[in-house]
Amino acid sequence: MSSGLESIINWKIEDRCPDKRLKEIFPYSERANSVYARNKYNSCIKDGVLRISGAIDIMEGLEYHFQNFSQLSSNLKKRDVASFVFSREVVDHCRHEFLAYSNRVGQFYKFAKSNYVDRRVVLYDSKIHYLIKYKTFRDKHAAHRNIDWPKKDEEHIDCVSNAFGNRKGVCTFDENARIIYQIKKNRENYSFNLLVEHEKIMQECYYVISEVVSN
């Protein structure tokens, strides 16, 4: 067994919810930490501490930015959105949290598709459907702006705007005054309602961690 930084023997990994069943543990990052701690001596993960701990940290980041976004967007009221008198400042602050969240989605996707994970589990795309779908927002607007570095094989996108910078209106609202971000890629429209989709994304992240540490 390796004795380097990646080795389990150099890390203290604790289950902070030892008396709970996994399905009883929330948030999902805490559940992921527990399933990791309960399997930490599994031979297939003894040299993957940095990768797995880092992926759980990404989950914590997703939850952090979601909570900030949720608190900010709670200031948007149905009547205000319907009459277009909502606070521009609130929408702008939500945008910054959304972009930070999108970047974390992209990071976790890269972990899920890494050689490290691929060598340990068979991870079908159907199991990370939402990570794949919503990493598009990260690819276009958190990693770099398409307007600055467009790909030749993609239709030009004027990045996310009322939400992301211009006045073309790629931020809209649902009937409950929840912000929906929109982009267009290769003539296909993508919509991201973070307040609705967050749970699905976290379930997929947990699934990946659970599969990696349990196999």
**Residue type present at position 6:** E
Report the pLDDT value the prediction gives residue 215, as an integer from 0 to 100: 81
Report the pLDDT value the prediction gives residue 164, as an integer from 0 to 100: 45
Q: In what order do the strands lie in the sheet with 179-185?
A: 171-173, 179-185, 188-192
Cα separation, 124 vs 213, whole angstroms: 17
Report the pLDDT value the prediction gives residue 163, as an integer from 0 to 100: 43
The answer to whether residues 136 and 182 touch, using CB atoms and an 8 Å cutoff, is no
Which tens digit of pLDDT belongs to each residue from 163-184? 444 433 468 899 899 999 998 8
Cα separation, 42 vs 211, whole angstroms: 12
Report the pLDDT value the prediction gives residue 80, as an integer from 0 to 100: 77
In which residue ranges of the chain is pLDDT below 50? 1, 155-169
Report the pLDDT value the prediction gives residue 86, as an integer from 0 to 100: 75
Cα separation, 175 vs 104, whole angstroms: 27
Instruction: Dig out the tokens for 11 from the structure.
Output: 């890390």
Give the chain's length.
215
